[in-house]
Structure 1
């Protein structure tokens, strides 16, 4: 599929979704361009602070008027631990942003990434996607990887299997209905994993990804502290956790403008992972 055609399809999906809403209402991974990667360990970092959103009864229906019917996800091997890092040739790192999209902060982060021609991963919450579809389309159009971070950002370890599936599946559905592709990556809110999350993620075709370096921006610790966390934790294979929603992220927006060029000047290649085809 040509890039222009893909973009057109995504725009059609976005327009169709908006119209539907008005009428009725994301083992082995690869660093892109690099070698086989593998890195699993127990989740790291503290809880991800997030302002509670009002419960939503919204359930997006498939847009059957555009594109082929939704294909069943490719089932994966069930992991026992999330992926924490990548490995490969060179000084490669992965940047990830959780909890969005948010119109107050996500566009500024996307602008900074675009300025330095850097790709990142965005683990989005389904209920945030509903009102900010254009930001999800922009992420995809600019080459970023969109991952699944559940619908309402709950603590999965307190939920039953049916509830966890609903959180994950609804989010994968709204991502696909917005720009045409189902997510291939999942991140558990608060880094709280359990057996059901690993099993259901694999059933839905998603690999579990955690992080290596927590910026602690969820604590709003100050721009300088966030910068120090990223620059001090930088190393080949690192996965950096930041947030573009879930609270006041103005410090995150300011910090990335400082630490991103620092990493690039230090010889790091900021990349996104891809999975080895089976």
Structure 2
């Protein structure tokens, strides 16, 4: 009988010990659904074509990689916040540059302007549809056509520094050379649009370097890449090719690279009409970033 009582007592003690250390159910560990920015080493390298912008980095592969590593997308995980998945891709561009909007909106960005012939047409198309976009301006053109820069800012579009004269090798220069180039460009933009803010820097051709990114950041500008590049800067690219590329590669969160100043704006503007129609059909919304 004594041994029996001792056995019961031991069992009670063991159960109490298990109750003490057993984890409480229904409460996932804190921070498991937090999105993280990819490191620069995980970003794809730009492919230079030697003429215009770098080859596009399609969102498909980067989104798949983010989903594989994000606990929020694992089988059985809660699907209450799709923005978490998109936010994980926000800085998936070369060297950690921004190439997604960070949510389910899409961004139209226009490079190499302002152009006295084409920028007003693009602005009219955006205004008709109530769309805000981002204009990556060349400093020399901003200085030559300040009234167009003022129009862009007045209509609520976002301003981006695209270097003084589209210098592909800018990022290989010294920090002082890069800063001088970007400051000269900002000065021209802000002289045309006093009180405006230049939020972003986009390196010509997407030829990013750590030094250029660091200098831009020190000047208060975020480095802006893209996820969709239809090659509209190339005269050989047709309207149909521009349209179809954007249709095929765009998804929620995409940043689309287009040009209001380069060499192929007629085809770009023709494709842009179709892009607006298709994005409307897909019920995409826009952001000026």
TM-score, scaled relative to structure 1: 0.69
State the Cα deviation string for residues 37-76 of structure 1 (Å, max 9, x = none): 96773455654846xxxxxxxxxxxxxxxxxxxxxxxxxx
Equivalence for 1:166: 180
Question: Per the alignment, in what secondary structure is the counterpart of residue 109 of structure 2?
Answer: strand
* Higher RCO (CA < 8 A, seq sep 6+): 1
How far has the Cα of 1:136 moved from its partner? 0.9
- Does 2:208 correspond to 1:193? yes
Structure 1 runs, 4 residues or longer, greater than 4 Å off:
36-40, 43-48
> 1:111–1:188: structure 2 CA closer, same or farther, 3 Å change rule?
same
Equivalence for 1:215: 230
> 1:144–1:249: structure 2 CA closer, same or farther, 3 Å change rule?
same
Structure 2: runs of 5+ lacking an equivalent: 1-34, 53-93
- Does 2:110 correspond to 1:94? no
- Equivalent residue runs for 1:15-30 within 5 Å: none
**Which residue of 238, 250, 255 corresponds with 1:239?**
255
Name the CA distance, whole Å, in 2 between partners of 1:218 and 1:121.
17
Name the CA distance, whole Å, in 1 between partners of 2:124 and 2:188.
24
**Which residue of 245, 249, 259 corresponds with 1:229?**
245
> 1:100–1:132: structure 2 CA closer, same or farther, 3 Å change rule?
same
Name the CA distance, whole Å, in 2 between partners of 1:145 and 1:112.
16
Q: How many residues align?
A: 208
State the Cα deviation string for residues 133-188 of structure 1 (Å, max 9, x = none): 11111111111101000101102244232221121111111111211223011100
How far has the Cα of 1:232 moved from its partner? 1.1
Structure 1: runs of 5+ lacking an equivalent: 1-35, 51-78, 274-278
Equivalence for 2:56: none
- Structure number with greater Rg is 2
Equivalence for 1:204: 219
How far has the Cα of 1:120 moved from its partner? 0.4
- Does 2:281 correspond to 1:268? no
